Chains A and B, each alone.
Chain A
Amino acid sequence: NAGVTQTPKFRVLKTGQSMTLLCAQDMNHEYMYWYRQDPGMGLRLIHYSVGEGTTAKGEVPDGYNVSRLKKQNFLLGLESAAPSQTSVYFCASSPNQGANGYTFGSGTRLTVV
């Protein structure tokens, strides 16, 4: 049982390049989330999904897009990477409201130069 798997684990991008981060969960969870973690700022919600085919904006959505075409996968796209998007990105999933928190992926460390 893999839980939540994120790929890639590390990536270096040049300013202006695009990329997609993949999150896959095998727990049949309805809800999925993308957070970014920056020093001194905690985890901040980028986008989230409450079910297959649905997405919504979180606190810091600018510069990112997401898709949830299949229940088990939640993709985070950076259209034109900027140095301000240098961060550690965490995907998480949850079965439903009120569940005991999230199951997190192991994170993707992204550096934009």
Chain B
Amino acid sequence: EDKVVQSPLSLVVHEGDTVTLNCSYEVTNFRSLLWYKQEKKAPTFLFMLTSSGIEKKSGRLSSILDKKELFSILNITATQTGDSAIYLCAAPYGGATNKLIFGTGTLLAVQP
């Protein structure tokens, strides 16, 4: 059975801290792994990773994929209160339908 597991479930940090969020997966015919940020409403796309060892970066956020060990990490440096959100990882599964299987998410709270 395909699955995506995220850890930790929740995290509280102070502004300026660096955080690492984890995502492990078991997906048949794995193609890619995606990260989303969800604030009050809809998830918004952050990164799509397809190749091991190649870091994707956007500002203070970065992510990397390890296809041998079947995991990905999302790093956020110099955290700000605006980074407070649920971070979701997901992977396509089930053939040519682009269905996504999601992890349960990590709830990040950044305190001033």
A: which residues have CB within 8 A of B?
A: 31, 33, 35, 40-45, 48, 50, 56, 58, 90, 94, 96-102, 104-107
Residue among A43, A50, A99 having the largest count of chain B Cβ atoms under 10 Å? A43
Contact among B48, B88, B96, B104 for A100, CB-based, below 8 A: B48
Closest beta carbon of chain B to A73's beta carbon, Å: 18
Q: Are B31 and A98 in contact (CB under 8 A)?
A: yes
Total A-B pairs, Cβ < 8 A: 60
Q: Which chain B residues numbered 77 to 112 have a C-beta less than 8 Å away from chain A?
A: 88, 90, 92, 96-105
Bin chain B's interface residue count: 20 to 34
Q: Are A106 and B42 in contact (CB under 8 A)?
A: yes
The 8 A CB mask of B35-46 against A (1 = contact, 0 = none) is 010000111110
Q: How far is the CA of A98 from the CA of B50 in the complex (A)?
A: 10
Known: A100-B48, A101-B36. Contact between A40 and B104, CB under 8 A?
yes
Which residue on chain B has the smallest CB distance to residue A30? B98
Closest beta carbon of chain A to B48's beta carbon, Å: 5
Contact among A43, A44, A58, A98 for B88, CB-based, below 8 A: A43
Q: Are A50 and B97 in contact (CB under 8 A)?
A: yes
Interfacial chain A residues near B19, Cβ < 8 Å:
none
Q: Are A43 and B34 in contact (CB under 8 A)?
A: no
Known: A42-B88, A90-B42, A107-B42. Contact between A97 and B104, CB under 8 A?
no
Closest beta carbon of chain A to B86's beta carbon, Å: 9
Contact among B43, B45, B98, B104 for A31, CB-based, below 8 A: B98
Interfacial chain A residues near B34, Cβ < 8 Å:
100-101
Closest beta carbon of chain B to A95's beta carbon, Å: 9
Closest beta carbon of chain A to B74's beta carbon, Å: 14
Q: How far is the CA of A45 from the CA of B9 in the complex (A)?
A: 21
Closest beta carbon of chain A to B42's beta carbon, Å: 4
Closest beta carbon of chain B to A14's beta carbon, Å: 26
Known: A42-B88, A42-B105. Contact between A102 and B41, CB under 8 A?
no
Which residue on chain A has the smallest CB distance to residue B95? A97
Interfacial chain B residues near A97, Cβ < 8 Å:
92, 96-98
Closest beta carbon of chain B to A90's beta carbon, Å: 6
